[in-house]
Amino acid sequence: MEANFLTAVFLPLALFIIMLGMGLTLTLEDFKRVVIYPKAVVIGLVAQLIMLPIVGFGIASVFPLEPQLAVGVMILAACPGGATSNMITFLAGGDVALSVTLTAISSFITVFTIPLVVNLSMQRFLGEGTTLQLPFLNTVLQIAVITLLPIAIGMIAKRYAPGLADKADKPVKWLSLFFLAVVITGVLLRERNNFVSYVIDVGLATLVLNVVAMALGFAIATLTRLGEKRVTAITVEVGIQNGTLAIAIASTPTLLNSPTMAIPGAIYGLLMFVTGAGFAWWSSRRQALLKA
């Protein structure tokens, strides 16, 4: 697969399909839950949108990363949530409604926060004189088209053609996983000559980001006494980033067009399934023991 076709056509299409799948599971009730349990939603959003970039900045600063890889870690930290987090929350026995609500709301907010976080990161790690930046308005519009538009289409289908949406839900989820696998494979193949060195350089940093974020999410939700299922949901939502969106922002020609910056997202995309599955297994057993 040609690199330009992967980044210019296939990657935005893949993200569009993935976000469409998420939209097929959403209704307006998911947004109304902010009123029903505002404490859990506010805590989750603060952890996702404020704590995560701070943690990412600390990791990108402490690890001896190439400047572009450090920015790639920050892009990842700026892209919380995604359809995968909802699936892992379900497997872990968490509050799926809260998970979906956090994913939906953060998807809208990060359209505006991602350009700010990424541009500040590039100034910090690439230097004040760097000419590479995300134009704010153009980036907001592009991210909205590949994330909010498909979510809206999915929600409209769910509202006005629920039977069709329910039938399409499972196939679209499998198609999303397929697209995600192809995107990650394509990015890694594109950088295959440096793959081993990249894994050595940034693999541990992305793993630490994943594990530390999950641990902090668990600690915050536990200390604020949100209840077992909500603790599980917030742990996953804070700990599992939207790797596909991070790859798209880094490598799409009309955005940053930097294959190197996409590497952390690609490696993270592989690791998160391992840590997510491990947490789901541990959480399920923990809840079973608490009930016994």
User: For 185-236, how does the pLDDT look when each residue is reduced to its tens digit (9 = 90+)?
Assistant: 776 776 667 667 777 888 899 999 999 999 999 999 999 988 888 999 999 9
| Rounded alpha-carbon distances, angstroms, from residue 234 to 9, 30, 45 | 33, 15, 9
Q: How far apart are CA 97 and CA 67, in angstroms?
A: 38
3-state DSSP assignment of residue 241: strand
Q: How far apart are CA 232 and CA 77, in angstroms?
A: 20
Class of domain 1-281: mainly alpha
Report the pLDDT value the prediction gives residue 1, as an integer from 0 to 100: 42
Dmax (CA) of the chain: 60
Tokens at residue 271, please?
A: 């690791």
Predicted confidence (pLDDT) per residue in 164-193, tens digit? 888 887 787 777 777 777 777 776 776 667
Residues of the chain with pLDDT under 70: 1-9, 30, 33-34, 128-132, 187, 190-192, 194-195, 290-292
| Count of other CB atoms within 10 angstroms of residue 271 | 17
Helix (H), strand (E) counts: the chain: 15, 0
User: Global pTM?
Assistant: 0.82
Cβ contact 290:228 at 8 Å? yes
DSSP class of residue 90 equals: H
Give the residues across from 80 on adjacent strands: 241
Q: How far apart are CA 15 and CA 148, in angstroms?
A: 11
